[in-house]
Structure 1
């Protein structure tokens, strides 16, 4: 069952990356991997993960520079970053926090149970309080959760519950590429067993109802969909 939470693991040591991916997936996270710093930056900007687990000693582009780049980009500025490093001196940790890390874990990872608890604690910091952001407007589209209403240029749309939840998910994170499985969970519920391509049908129906605003829902090839920034 998906938590709808994305984690990007940027780690060049294969066995550790595989172990992290396995443990995170077992915990219900959607996991992406990158094996060098440049790939890590690119994937972070594409997938806009909730959390990046970032090794410091990376090829091509080091972890400190990756962290700086993520913090300087508006798309990834608020992304949680957990640094993972064999360098455990206090000065190393100070540098990590200074460039924008939210947490710092020293290798080797001796307890995945503890690591997962630290990840949960980090993610709780970003969880909105109940009732926050009940209404959101982007471009000329407004989604009001409290009234279950969508308007385009102040004209209401007649949407199904699934279409409403799909649009609500996309519009609240403009520019973020959502995978089809994520959108199935958001629109139809996590316990619904359907083909990922089923979401394409819902997107087509939603676009038809959106009329001239249909192009605000963009297709991301090989991934899924996003709401235009």
Structure 2
């Protein structure tokens, strides 16, 4: 997948070199950072298509790096962590993390996740290209832009995908498992609370329009602009 620039943020040199090699072998341009502050400096200097970010970093930790990136960018972020606890994952999803990989992991699995995220973040050429509008809420799939009263709403790639999918099927109820399949894909190794965390974030960011994402108790969610 030539043409993509990936930043690898990992303080352990051997792991950083290994990830660099695997990504480079896939045709990616790779930018390395050994701590959180260097990662933020490089992110300001170069446009990135995806960030692989370790949680435990010197100077500035991975959570802080993620939070600062999310203040102005929707770039996909994959977190590397030695801890796979559910609360840690939910905390990360609240910050805008798109995927998790728990150490130790297979580099080939990480490459597969990177490719899947890049494919979804850039959009599928065969996807619907129509703009979806509900009152002052506008969802533009080609530019992956969401606006309310012509003001941009900053969403993570997964938040956009989830909103676009639900809004493309108004009134249709989807279980959490169905949403994991349609939005995250078969390659995602997560649980249904991942969906809940993203819905919570979407409702918060959409303000009054967050009510359109309706919980159907015991089943899942639907998009309903009549509420």
TM-score, length-normalised on structure 1? 0.53
* Cα distance, 1:48 vs structure 2: 1.6
Distance across 1 between alignment mates of 2:9 and 2:108:
20
Distance across 2 between alignment mates of 1:28 and 1:107:
24
Deviations 1:183-224 (A, max 9, x none): xxxxxxxxxxxxxxxxxxxxxxxxxxxxxxxxxxxxxxxxxx
5+ residue gaps in structure 2? 128-227
Deviations 1:112-147 (A, max 9, x none): 221111111101112244499xxxxxxxxxxxxxxx
What residue in structure 2 maps to residue 44 of structure 1? 43
Q: Does 1:53 align with 2:46?
A: no
What residue in structure 1 maps to residue 85 of structure 2? 89
Judge conservation of contact 1:48–1:79 (CA < 8 Å) in 2: no
5+ residue gaps in structure 1? 133-229
What residue in structure 2 maps to residue 135 of structure 1? none
What residue in structure 2 maps to residue 115 of structure 1? 110
Q: Does 1:78 align with 2:74?
A: yes
Please give the residue correspondences for 1:193-208 in structure 2 after superposition, counting only pairs within 5 Å. Answer: none
Q: Does 1:126 align with 2:121?
A: yes
The total of aligned residue pairs comes to 128
Distance across 2 between alignment mates of 1:15 and 1:71:
28
- What RMSD over aligned residues (CA atoms) do the two structures have, in Å? 1.8
TM-score, length-normalised on structure 2? 0.54
Displacement over 6 Å in runs of 4+: none
What residue in structure 2 maps to residue 23 of structure 1? 22
Q: Which of 1 and 2 has greater Rg?
A: 1
